[in-house]
Amino acid sequence: MKQAKFTLDPAFRIGAVDPRVRGSFVEHLGRCVYGGIYEPDHPDADSDGFRNDVLDLTRELGVTTVRYPGGNFVSGYQWEDAIGPRSERPRRLDLAWKTLETNEVGVDEFAAWCRKAGVAPMMAVNLGTRGVQEAAALVEYCNHPAGSYWSDLRAKYGAKEPHDIKIWCLGNEMDGPWQIAHKSARDYGILANQTAKAMRLVDPDLELVACGSSHRRMATFGAWEAEVLEHTYNVVDYISLHSYYKPKDGDFASFLASGVEMDAMIDEVVATADFVKAKLRSKKTINLSYDEWNVWYHEPGDESEWAVAPALFQDQYTLADAVVVGSLLNSLIRHADRVTMACFAQLVNVIAPITTVNGGPAYRQSTFHPMRLAFQYGVGDALRVEPTGPEVETPEYGSVPQLDATATLDPETGDLAVFATNRSLTEPLQVDVDVRALKDVRPVEHLSVHGERDAVNTVDDQERIVPRAQDVPVLEDGRVRFELPPMSWSVVRLATT
Ligand code: AHR
């Protein structure tokens, strides 16, 4: 069997993994909100109409932050439609997804759901069809204590205490020509700058995210970030990145190596942000918010004709998809020094790790498992690991290392976790980790997500893909050894106390 090697050393510290990289996304799209987090007629709904089973799975997943209400949806959204008595809320045509939006759920309900789920909300404002005034009013509605028009209206509608939402996205994917009100980098940069200033006047403690590119393959990628940041550098904290992956023309070798592209996109956006920093002679560093990432199969274009909560983009995830999701999480962890926020898109039903049946159960898709494990054990400091070993050939990325690995060390507990993807479709891999730099190290557990490439979890067979315990790794001569099944993602846990 082929072998890969690397060294685990606490001195090779990249940075602390920010808990906010464990974020997700709830958009008014398909059945994510209606039939997803909210289904008042469901037997397991609470008194606010939220599905308890979805709340339980959200907590189990370990999500910390949830972005809302879009996505493309936000670029035509009028947030005022979805406040106040439900019977008076208008039904609107959502032009982004050709859906009928009932506005039964709005910012007050979402904030209440976040409190129940134990997550922080991350709001997006509409910088497509709207602008400065509406964004500032929404911040006032959410965060101003009392005594103004919008804050008093919030209290009148039942939320006396402010929602205190601190993380805000300045629009969504404004580089995308599919947006009704698509903008040039210059126009968006100027609008984002003005909006940020107004929002900060209402609440100075906000953290703001400027829109980066919708994908690395956008023709404007790079130039877009540079120009947007030149306009917004002093008033924002983050630049966003979005990426979705899928196997193209049956090319699973490249699909399993999707993390190569995620790594490249992160490095390129960091370089652009730091170039603008140098150009502006700024002391401030802009970090990255990877606020949409996932595997996504269904192409936009499936949209229904003005239905309420149609079943859109309900991808059913395979074992191969779970392995890719695991490797994308490896990429985020290894860039802990600059990627300090991230949201997998989306939480429930729409390209999601949680699937629900209307009136029926909720269950975990294959991708749920690497997320839960990486969120649970990928805590503390990210450690740089540099594997050497065999390579695999991919049509898209050329020759890439068969082992994709990263690691974390929790300084509070002394626990370590190695996250490892075997990118070979067919060959197992022996891994040899030099742990001589660690004192009293003890292997604890090896959990692996592997199996048949196209296997999926379904409502009738919910446990076809679950993490499976492997042999506990062997410690010998200062080395920890374990074996990775073909096409697998694993977490190997070590203790040092
Ligand atoms: O997550 C689904 C969609 O993907 C979002 O609405 C949009 O931002 C992206 O293109």
Q: Is the CB of 69 within 6 Å of ligand 1?
A: no
Q: Which residues pair with 421 in a beta bridge?
A: 404, 489
Domain closes at, from 342, 377, 412? 377
- State the helix-helix crossing angle for 319-334 and 368-377, rounded to 10 degrees: 30
Residue nearest atom 7 of ligand 1, based on CA coordinates: 71
SS3 60: helix
Q: Does the beta carbon of 292 sit less than 6 angstroms from any atom of ligand 1?
A: yes
Q: What distance in Å separates the CA atoms of residue 298 and residue 482, rounded to the nearest whole number? A: 37
Q: 275 and 167 in one domain? A: yes
For residue 84, whether the previous peptide bond is cis, meaning omega lies within 30 degrees of 0, is no
Contacts of 301 (CB under 8 A, 6+ apart): none
Q: Please tell me if the CB atom of residue 72 comes closer than 6 angstroms to any atom of ligand 1.
A: yes
User: Does the beta carbon of 225 lie inside 6 Å of ligand 1?
Assistant: no
Domain boundary among 329, 346, 377: 377
Residues 371 and 431 in one domain: no
Q: How far does residue 73's CA lie from ligand 1's centre (Å)?
A: 8
Mutation test of ligand 1: which of 174, 292, 294 has the most ligand atoms closer than 8 Å to its C-beta? Answer: 292
Total domains present in the chain: 2
pLDDT at position 302, please?
58
Tell me, what CATH number does 120's domain have? Answer: 3.20.20.80
**173 touches ligand 1 (CB under 6 Å):** yes
Upstream peptide bond of 69 is cis (omega within 30 degrees of 0): yes
Together in a domain, 256 and 339: yes
Are 407 and 259 part of one and the same domain?
no
Atom of ligand 1 nearest to the CA of 173: 8
Kindly report whether the global pTM for this prediction surpasses the value 0.90.
yes
Last residue of a domain, one of 321, 354, 377: 377
pLDDT (tens digit per residue) in 59-69: 999 999 999 99
Question: Which ligand 1 atom lies nearest to the CA of residue 70?
Answer: 6
Whose alpha carbon is nearest atom 3 of ligand 1? 71
* Residue 438, domain CATH: 2.60.40.1180
Choose the catalytic residue: 140, 173, 225, 227: 173
The reply to whether 455 and 347 lie within a common domain is no
Q: Answer yes or no: do 55 and 166 share one domain.
A: yes
Cα 197 to middle of ligand 1, angstroms:
26
Residue 346 beta carbon below 6 angstroms from any ligand 1 atom: yes
Q: What percent of the chain has pLDDT over 90?
A: 97
Q: Is residue 172 within 6 Å of ligand 1 at its C-beta? A: yes
Q: Which pLDDT does position 497 carry in this prediction?
A: 76
Q: Is-catalytic flag, 292?
A: yes
Q: Domain of 248?
A: 18-377
- According to the model, what pLDDT value does residue 114 have? 98
Tell me what pLDDT residue 460 has.
97
Same structural domain, 487 and 430? yes
The average pLDDT across 66-79 equals 98
Tell me if 222 sits within 8 A of 272, measured CB to CB. yes
Are 239 and 229 spatial neighbours (Cβ–Cβ below 8 Å)? yes
With H, G, I as helix, E, B as strand and everything else as coil, classify residue 385: coil
Which residues lie closer than 8 Å to 45 by C-beta, 6 or more apart?
39, 51, 52
Task: Give yes or no: residues 137 and 88 share one domain.
Answer: yes
Average pLDDT over all residues of the chain: 97
pLDDT tens, position by position, 400-419: 999 999 999 999 999 999 99
For 254-319, give the DSSP string.
HHHTHHHHHHHHHHHHHHHHHHHHHHTT-S---EEEEEEEEE--SPTT---SSBSS---S----BH
pLDDT at 298: 85
Residues 392, 352 within the same domain: no
For residue 71, how far is its CA from the centre of ligand 1 (angstroms)? 5
**Which residue has 């023709």 as its token pair?**
219
Structure tokens at 277: 């920093």
Query: Residues 104, 215: one domain?
Result: yes
pLDDT at 481 over 90: yes
Mean pLDDT of 33-41: 98
| pLDDT number for residue 303 | 66
Q: Are residues 400 and 337 in the same domain?
A: no
Q: How confident is the model at residue 304, as a pLDDT?
A: 74
Same domain, 477 and 410: yes
Burial class of 41 by CB neighbour count within 10 A (0 to 12, 13 to 18, 19+): exposed
At residue 299, does pLDDT exceed 90? Answer: no
| pLDDT more than 70, % of the chain | 99
Question: Tell me, what's the pLDDT at 452?
Answer: 97
Q: Is the pLDDT of residue 44 over 90?
A: yes
